[in-house]
Structure 1
Amino acid sequence: VYSMGPIIHNPRVVDDLMRKGLRILPEDDSSLRDFDLRGARVIVRSHGIPPARAELLEEKGAQLVDATCPTVKKAQRAAMRLVGEGYRLFIIGNADHPEVAAILGHVNNEAVVIKGSGELKEWWQGQKRAVRKVGLIAQTTVDLLTFRSLVDGLINEVPELIREVLELKIINTLCRNTLARQAEALQLALASDFVVVVGGRNSSNTEFLRKMCEATGRGTLKVESADDIDPRLLEGVERLAILGGTSTPRESLEEVQRKLTA
């Protein structure tokens, strides 16, 4: 059994699965061509994959097990619909994230990935042809504040877009579970003196939890496991919050709790 890239952004979980026999495939098509996948099962992780990569895997004889998140599939369908209807598509997110790469693959890379309204303004000013229809979606794990501030920025910072565009369609593709987790994390941070965020270093949603907690002014520490914690950092802390990202196993949270309450 293979997975297309790390099945989850948590090294502990991935290492455990690899000990049980899971093999990780590289995420570039040129390297994939070197693998003999006849009869093998390949798990498509929650981020999804570009259609061209799925075709390559099937051509090599792999049986695909599609574990793409339903919310991610919704974002893929929204992107395809907008591009199909003639909208110039913008995706709020990280161009290097596998979810965004998969969405781009579903629209033949006919989209622009942006992190802020400044990037949109720069792109817009470089255009030589008029753009009359603009569509906007987001990577599903983008936080609500970023999404809202960019939408506001379209009006306040890119007025030429509002003057020139005849149709602006914004589709909310944010993950509701992620938004609920962020809201709960904010409440816990505000009720605490110090926050420990537990999760993989490459996890986008875990990194956002860290930034959000730091923004409250509370002391914040992000760790992958209990081994990363020096208890002396928490001397004098009376109220401690321990948070985990979506890909953080319960065992990791419990280990951190035991170490800090021993």
Structure 2
Amino acid sequence: MSAPDRRRWLAGAGASLAGLALTACDRLNAHPGFTRVLASAEGLTRRAQRLVVDRKALAQEFTPEDLSPDFKANGTIRPSSPAYAAHAAAAFADWRILVDGLVERPQSLSLDELRALPARTQITRHDCVEGWSAIGKWTGARLGPLLDRAGLKPEARYLVFHCADHLGPNQDESDRYYESIDLIDAYHPQTLLAYAMNDQPLPVAHGAPVRLRVERQLGYKHAKYVQRIEAVADFAHIRGGKGGFWEDRGYEWYAGI
């Protein structure tokens, strides 16, 4: 099976599994043995993919002619907090992204400073667990050089992306979106902090001013409205302890395609 076909199959399979989850997983999740089996299967899947796929293998890239005329904005399309509204009204002139946690040199970068870092432009397909896909052009700072600038401590194993949006009824910290990736994906050449989409500043609906692009994973890993990147040894102490907003609610942490 070719890489593009594999990506389409996995995206479709993910959508099918998500549908099954709505009808069955609430009951099954009540059984600790079942959740342990799922966790071990996820680890096996991740290890197997790491073995058969080169850690630097690129996701397929496309041409400008392939760009989708309508790229769906999923999840939050405008964060509701007054602080975010003020930043958006000022064209994010005073916005900063923080890099902290297990780093030697914590960073606080403005949008202009982020744009001055080593960058990459790529046209890739976004595969959503809901079963739809779209092709977009992304420009952003490569995450690897930023991590080198901050200096990861030896015990750092994961990056946690803390976001400005809330996705849930409470609109408090329990509903704030967050995601995480390991250092293999963090240093992948296509992993970006994207600040432009289709040659325009990143729209609010798509995560302005900065979103994560981690092209070898499904769409829910591509955190929008990123405002802090925290290097951690593990995420057991963060929220539900599963490494992400949706993972805390039953999704797999590793969503490789």
| Structure-2-length-normalised TM-score | 0.23
Instruction: Work out which of the two has the higher radius of gyration on C-alpha atoms and give 1 or 2.
Output: 1
| Structure-1-length-normalised TM-score | 0.23
Which structure has greater helix proportion? 1
**Structure having greater relative contact order (Cα 8 Å, sep ≥ 6):** 2
Which structure has greater strand proportion? 2
